[in-house]
Amino acid sequence: MIGNTPLVGIIMGSESDLPVMKKTAEVLEEMGVSYEMKISSAHRMPKETADYAESARKCGIEVIIAGAGMAAHLAGAIAAHTTLPVIGVPLKSGELNGVDALYSTVQMPSGIPVATVAINGAANAAYLACSILSIKYPEIRVAIDSKREKTRVKLLEKSEAIKNTTLKDL
Ligand code: RP5
């Protein structure tokens, strides 16, 4: 595992976000990157959220991934309290199916950026965190290259397998 202390902080607004947000942990484990996971709601736990963001850099965290649904202010609230890179994951929940969270997460004021991935894009948040960390850690770059190569080969094999398929075979 790269990092003696967690390099990535994964924060989510509610326990109900865990089924999607655990995909970030799955990708980081596959890439060998250390992480920690926490529940911290921007609205229900404002002080704890601000404290976490303010102390993250000195605790050794280098990238924060924040996932929340509905009026999703978590990533933005964290970005307001740290200059670490913050990646926001808008989550699909509530009556608006994540469009509310997407707009809340992506529309940040100038100077306080949140790198926002797709609705429920938890895996891509982890891949982006790895790309950021790969600037400093060459072994993460190797892990990303290797993953992309495996994906490419798998797709080539699938393409080969369906090459002579017609509709009647499906
Ligand atoms: C957000 O509200 C959370 O991130 C979650 O996606 C949504 C619903 O939270 P619960 O009511 O399930 O705790 O703050």
Q: Per-residue pLDDT tens for 20-52?
A: 999 999 999 999 999 999 999 999 999 999 999
Q: Supply the range of the domain harboring residue 91.
A: 8-169
Instruction: Indicate whether residue 77 lines ligand 1 (CB < 6 A).
Output: no
- The label of the residue with tokens 């976000």 reads 17
Residue among 15, 21, 65 nearest 44 (CA): 15
Instruction: Indicate whether residue 69 lines ligand 1 (CB < 6 A).
Output: yes
Q: Per-residue pLDDT tens for 58-114?
A: 999 999 999 999 999 999 999 999 999 999 999 999 999 999 999 999 999 999 999
Instruction: Indicate whether residue 91 lines ligand 1 (CB < 6 A).
Output: yes
Whether 61 maps to a domain, the answer reads yes
Whether 3 maps to a domain, the answer reads no
CB atoms within 10 A of CB 7: 24
Q: Which of 21, 91, 93, 104 to mutate to test the pocket of ligand 1 (most atoms within 8 A of CB)?
A: 93
The CATH number covering residue 20 comes to 3.40.50.1970
Q: What are phi and psi of 73, to 5 degrees?
A: -100, 5
> Count of domains in the chain?
1
